[in-house]
Amino acid sequence: MLNFNQPTHLPMTKKNPLPIIIATGLTALGLFFGLSVLAKNPADVKKAVLAPSDQEISIAKNFALKFEGAAVVSVHKTKFNDLYEVTLEGNQLVYTDANTSFTLVGNLLDNQTQRNLTEERLSELNKVPFNTFPTQQAFVAVKGNGSRKMVLFEDPNCGYCKRFRETIEGFTDLTIYTYVVDILGDDSTAKAKALMCAKDPAKAWDDWMLHGIKPANVAECDTSALQKNKALAIKLGITGTPTVFLEDGSRLPGAVSKEALEVALAKQAAK
């Protein structure tokens, strides 16, 4: 029997092949390997990045060899002498030199302009064109005229997701596309499937997340969207819930406050 009040813990995972300092934040959903940068010959590596230099190709290949399982997406030379930016799958940024003799993890700051270059780059990398989201895999809820749009990735056992649901409850003129992911274990999977098979999934989701009400008279249905949503989350580098995307493709850092959300939505309206 499905217990909707059962506490759920994060599942144990095998040790990531990357060193801990690089792997932090990469393993919550797991990594898929399939980029050509891990291929056996340099010609295949060249196809994985956009117009790379020979030096950048060499760095990508050497980095992947030194850190087995590190899926390198791209390498770019920064404006700081022999420093290169390495983008790993999941939009994780690290830095190295031409010989990959060191790896730097953290924020790169431009002392002259006082800009956080890592933060700016991640903001661009993490943008997702809103019209590319497969809406057939989501629950859709419309508040008011639905003129403002938002995508949410949520787990039914996620406490922060429930808190964020309370935050958006009072918002009007909002269309919410909810992508259910079961990243918190088997109990999350069971709950997600039950909610997806409810007569009105969007209402059932709100009833559970906001009020702890279980769906009634649930029959079996097609829940293949659950696996598709997890694959989409991995592709987008989502490592936790809730993850929020706005209409311009930008993502918000988790369960933001009501005030921060109002500011973000106002900026969307201005655009």
Beta carbons of 156 and 188 less than 8 angstroms apart: yes
pLDDT of 253 reads: 74
> CA–CA separation, 241 vs 180, rounded Å?
10
Inter-residue contact 176 to 143 (CB < 8 Å): yes
Which CATH code fits 130-270? 3.40.30.10
Full-model pTM: 0.66
Residue type, 44: D
Question: What's the pLDDT at 197?
Answer: 93
CB atoms within 10 A of CB 68: 10
pLDDT for res 188: 94
Q: Rounded CA gap, 5 and 237, in Å?
A: 29
For residue 11, count other CB atoms closer than 10 A to its CB. Answer: 10
d(CA 205, CA 210): 8
Q: Which residues contact 222 (CB under 8 A, 6 or more apart)?
A: none
Q: Are 13 and 20 in contact (CB under 8 A)?
A: no
- pLDDT for 266: 86
DSSP-derived secondary structure for 16-77: PSS-HHHHTTTSSS------GGGSSSHHHHHHHSSS--HHHHHHHHHHHHHSTT--EEEEEE
Mean pLDDT of each 10-residue bin along the chain, 271 residues long: 39 37 33 31 42 87 84 90 89 91 92 89 85 94 92 95 92 93 93 93 94 87 93 87 91 86 85 70
Q: Are 187 and 157 in contact (CB under 8 A)?
A: yes
The letter for the amino acid at 169 is E
Domain extents for the chain?
Answer: 20-125, 130-270
State how far the Cα of 84 lies from the Cα of 79, in Å rounded to an integer.
9
DSSP states along the chain:
---TT----PPP-PPPSS-HHHHTTTSSS------GGGSSSHHHHHHHSSS--HHHHHHHHHHHHHSTT--EEEEEE-SSTT-EEEEETTTEEEEE-TT---EE-S--EETTTTEEHHHHHHHHHT---GGGS-GGGSEEEEETT--EEEEEEE-TT-HHHHHHHHHHTT--SEEEEEEE---S-HHHHHHHHHHHTSSSHHHHHHHHHHH-PPPSSPPP---THHHHHHHHHHHTT--SS-EEEETTS-EE-SS--HHHHHHHHHHHHH-
- Written as six digits, the tokens of 260 are 């921060």
